[in-house]
Amino acid sequence: SQLATGTGIAPFRSFLWKMFFEQHEDYKFNGLAWLFLGVPTSDTLLYKEEFEKMVEIGGENFRLDFAVSREQTNAAGEKMYIQTRMAEYKEELWELLKKDNTYVYMCGLKGMEKGIDDIMVDLAAKDGIDWIDYKKQLKKAEQWNVEVY
């Protein structure tokens, strides 16, 4: 999973470009890349057409979700931030996070991480897991990578 706000998308763009646009004889990406991109307004969605083209090329290997905070709301009428959008898929995301081949890259605004922690605490607890401890394990295994400011 890749989570980015605004210009935090830059490092992920190169990962995704390599996965879906570059042709390599000895490598074809066959996992799942899932990008959650959050911006304030739809006219600030960087690389939108490029990412949509990746969806076409990637098929089931690429999922794309936008969170446009000043234009979208969830069912409860709350502003649509990355963590709000992720909450719509929280059970599926938790199942992915329990796999040892899931890697999360988060880059952007600091508030995003707390929002995601808030979602995961309850999900992990249902499985008898302390989310904060589990997240530390993910970090140690280099599966949870965060660059927030």
Mean pLDDT on 40-55:
93
Residue 8: pLDDT over 80: no
CA distance 120 to 80: 18
Q: Minimal CA–CA distance to 11: which of 112, 110, 145, 116?
A: 145
Contact 104, 3 (CB under 8 A): yes
Output the domain CATH number for residue 96: 3.40.50.80
| Model confidence, pTM | 0.91
Residue 23: pLDDT over 80: no
Contact 117, 82 (CB under 8 A): no
Q: Quote the pLDDT of residue 5.
A: 67
Residue 69: pLDDT over 80: yes
- b or e along 74-104 (b: 16 or more beta carbons within 10 Å of the residue's beta carbon)? eeeeeebbbbbbbbebeeebbebbeeeebbb
Mean pLDDT on 20-44:
88
Q: What percent of the chain has pLDDT over 90?
A: 74
Query: What is the domain count for the chain?
Result: 1
Q: Quote the pLDDT of residue 109.
A: 81
pLDDT tens for residues 79-120? Answer: 999 999 999 999 999 999 999 999 999 988 888 889 999 999
Contact 31, 22 (CB under 8 A): no
- Can you tell me whether residue 81 is helix, strand or coil? coil
Q: Minimal CA–CA distance to 9: which of 111, 85, 106, 93?
A: 106
Residue 7: pLDDT over 70: no
What is the residue range of 70's domain?
Answer: 2-148
Residue 2: pLDDT over 80: no
Q: Minimal CA–CA distance to 73: which of 63, 64, 84?
A: 84
The sign of the torsion formed by the CA atoms of 50, 55, 58, 64 equals positive
